[in-house]
């Protein structure tokens, strides 16, 4: 989180971007970080997580997981997941979806998760065999619209 805080501070200090419209997106491990950073930084307006894990075992490197921080989200997050992802089981995504819906946190309740049926992990990685053009293009359109609708675009 400190690295991302430093990045935001650098961009702000250099005048290279409008940090009042702060959004975050990430893929795989970065998708997990989207949820965590959104809960960490009150300036985040919205996030888009591409197939990031939402649950896991606690360890010194991963003391918290997105599902633990639902009630701390600052901006709504859109999750984009593959229904045939071998690394992120559907039941964990469903648990996250339910936690968002039942949260008392406004940003959490505004968050959404879309699961693409029969779609593997890394479906937007056009350099991998897992790439799925239709789902990747749909996800990108959804992400851009999500950011615009939530004050990032």
Say which of 38, 65, 74, 85 is annotated catalytic.
85
Give the C-alpha separation, 122 to 82, whole Å: 8
Clarify whether 18 is annotated catalytic: no
Under 8 Å between Cβ of 27 and 50: yes
Clarify whether 86 is annotated catalytic: no
Q: Rg of the chain over CA atoms, in angstroms?
A: 15
* DSSP code of residue 74: S
Give the C-alpha separation, 72 to 60, whole Å: 21
Clarify whether 121 is annotated catalytic: yes
Say which of 40, 65, 74, 121 is annotated catalytic.
121
Residue whose token pair is 């639902």: 70
Say which of 28, 40, 65, 74 is annotated catalytic.
28
Catalytic residue list: 28, 85, 121
């Amino acid at each position: 989180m400190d690295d991302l805080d430093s990045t935001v501070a650098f961009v702000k200090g250099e005048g290279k971007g409008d940090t009042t419209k702060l959004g975050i997106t990430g893929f795989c491990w970065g998708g997990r970080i989207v949820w965590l950073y959104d809960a960490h930084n009150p300036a985040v307006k919205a996030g888009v997580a591409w197939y990031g894990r939402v649950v896991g075992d606690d360890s010194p490197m991963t003391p918290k997981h997105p599902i633990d921080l639902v009630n701390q989200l600052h901006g709504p997050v859109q999750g984009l997941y593959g229904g045939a992802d071998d690394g992120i089981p559907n039941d964990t995504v469903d648990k996250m979806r339910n936690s968002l819906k039942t949260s008392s946190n406004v940003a959490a309740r505004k968050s959404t998760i879309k699961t693409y049926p029969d779609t593997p992990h890394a479906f937007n990685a056009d350099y991998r065999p897992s790439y799925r053009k239709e789902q990747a293009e749909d996800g990108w359109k959804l992400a851009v619209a999500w950011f615009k609708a939530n004050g990032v675009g």
